[in-house]
Structure 1
Amino acid sequence: MNLLLAPFKGKIFFSILLLLSFFSAFAQEEITKPELQEIKVDSLYREDQFYFAFTYNTLQQKPVGLSQQKFSIGISGGILRDMPINKARTKAFATGLGVSYNNYNQNIGISGTAQNAAYEIIPNSDFDKNKFTQLLIDLPIEFRWRTSTYQSYKFWRIYGGMKFSYLAYSKSVLNNEDGKTVITNNPDFNKFLYGLYLSAGYNTLNVYAYYGLNPIFKSAQIDGEKIKMNSVNVGVIFYIL
């Protein structure tokens, strides 16, 4: 009987050795994989590659009598290249390209044509609709401070910098008792705009503010006085990897 069982005992012993070798290799792989992954992610990780912002748009340095009677909104989005400058990657520069749409409901009536536009302050009761809108191509350049690590996407951030914008398209609409006047690509608008901005927050919730440093209009006048309005936009901004 012992002679008959001997081959089976050898096979069982050999199978146990194979199983132990397999589990040993698997355990070693489980230990080494996170270490390799940690080195790879830590050497490459960057933050906040895409952004989307929603703002309430206001006008500063307004002509006498100007008012904003409705909610004026702004929507912007774009892509940024994050460039860390310290080993911990908590400080960085970033730049990229974006697009902004700004809407301003107010009571400066723009009539005439794009080549010969006229401007005047009109009472809010004298029109059904009066606004101008802008479509801008943005170049943001910012400095970033954050508490991020490669292990967590939830962190505090303060980003600030300057945004340069090119006016790609403009449109003004005045709808009153005389009819509807629509002017597109009015040359009196400033083609190049620039301003300072700041965003700050934690995780996905971030507040955003932009202050325009030059006027929205380049050559428009009301009663012989140049319109020097600039924009101030406040709202929220979301960053996505």
Structure 2
Amino acid sequence: MSLLQNQFREKLFFSFLLLLSFFGVFAQEEIQTKPELQEIKVDSLYREDQFYFGFTYNTLQQKPVGLSQQKFSIGISGGFLRDMPINKNRTKAFATGLGVSYNNYNENLGISGTAQDATYAILGSQNNFDKNKFTQLLIDVPLEFRWRTSTFQSYKFWRIYGGMKFSYLAYSKSVLNNDDGKTVITNNKDFNKFLYGLYLSAGYNTLNVYAYYGLNPIFKSAQIDGDKIKMNSLNVGLIFYIL
């Protein structure tokens, strides 16, 4: 009887060890499987949604005769872009979003009068002025195609992004400070309310070069001696993308 009890205990002990080994192997397989599942999940869902911040040097194109830019004209922009990959490797995508831009232009186009009835003249050497500029605050909606060498494991990659940007003029201001005094005009009706243009950015990791070319004029109805002002903008600088 004692011998049978000892054999039963030994069988029970070895059965218990075998059961523990089974659970140990199962747990190990589960631990090895989870990262693979997680890797597949991350790979299938990752996007390059990004905040962006840009700094540009602003120039005017198709200027009237005699118009020149004075000092340094700058632009500052920022916003958010939503990434929409279109291929399995996620190296190609479309993106759109919402942003804001501030553009400053220092030049010798004198704007006087009022927001409803402004007059324009080229300020020559005979005109003494301390300051002459106009500024714009724009709400931007970019729509771009993206090519990049990104992977879900690395945020450092080469990129070329390009597309079209549509802008709504939310606020404008011109300042002329000369011998006749200071003239400030806000929300001049002659400015184009809707602007659009092509842009391109390219670079590696966070730092990228950027260029924007306006396809329609900054002014809608401004004239100098009966000739329409057809100026558009070319802005060149740097843009930073932050995940």
Query: TM-score, normalized by length of structure 2?
Result: 0.87
1:194 equivalent to 2:196? Answer: yes
Per the alignment, residue 171 of structure 1 pairs with: 173
Counterpart CA distance in 2 for 1:126 and 1:24 is 88
Per the alignment, residue 5 of structure 1 pairs with: none
What is the CA-CA distance between 1:28 and the residue it aligns to?
4.9
CA RMSD of aligned residues (A): 2.2
Per the alignment, residue 107 of structure 2 pairs with: 106
1:31 equivalent to 2:36? Answer: no
What is the CA-CA distance between 1:22 and the residue it aligns to?
9.7
Counterpart CA distance in 2 for 1:129 and 1:201 is 36
8 Å Cα contact 1:48/1:239 also seen in 2: no
Per the alignment, residue 47 of structure 2 pairs with: 46
Counterpart CA distance in 2 for 1:229 and 1:106 is 12
Counterpart CA distance in 2 for 1:123 and 1:25 is 86
Per the alignment, residue 234 of structure 2 pairs with: 232
What is the CA-CA distance between 1:24 and the residue it aligns to?
6.6
The SS at the match of 1:186 is coil
Matches within 5 A, 1:86-165: 86-123=87-124, 126-165=128-167
The SS at the match of 2:58 is strand
Residue identity (%): 86
What is the CA-CA distance between 1:138 and the residue it aligns to?
0.7
What is the CA-CA distance between 1:36 and the residue it aligns to?
2.4
Q: Deviations over 1:19-42 (max 9, x none)?
A: 999987875565334212211211
Unaligned stretches of 5+ in structure 1? 1-12
Counterpart CA distance in 1 for 2:75 and 2:111 is 21
1:98 counterpart letter in structure 2: G
More off after superposition, 24-33 vs 57-66? 24-33
The SS at the match of 1:217 is coil
Q: Deviations over 1:103-135 (max 9, x none)?
A: 000010101111111101113661111100001
